[in-house]
Amino acid sequence: MKFTIQKEIFDIDLEDKKILLDSNSGRYIELNSTASTVFEFIKKEEKSLEQITNFICENYDVTPEEASKEIENLLKKSPNIFSCS
């Protein structure tokens, strides 16, 4: 399973935050720094959960188990941002 960013999502960096616009709904979404890091990593090309987890573990002081659980929650809670194939 690979994750990508929905085509309808536009992003801008504002200070240390990332602001997203869902052009379908007109909603704005604010991401924290970790979610922003995941967004940027996936934005370049589709990634698997394992690739995302490894990337986060390399950049943050978390275990693979913690990272995987948090990333899964982020991806599942945000189907309007992230899609899977």
Q: Whole-angstrom Cα distance, residue 68 to residue 10?
A: 25
User: What would the mean pLDDT of 46-62 be, rounded to a whole number?
Assistant: 94
User: What would the mean pLDDT of 61-66 be, rounded to a whole number?
Assistant: 94
Q: Which of 52, 43, 85 is nearest to 70 (CA)?
A: 52
- How many domains does the structure of the chain reveal? 1
Q: What is the pLDDT of residue 71?
A: 92
Structural domain of residue 53, as residue ranges? 2-84
Question: Which CATH number fits the domain that encloses residue 58?
Answer: 3.90.930.60
User: What would the mean pLDDT of 68-78 be, rounded to a whole number?
Assistant: 89
**pLDDT(47) > 90:** yes
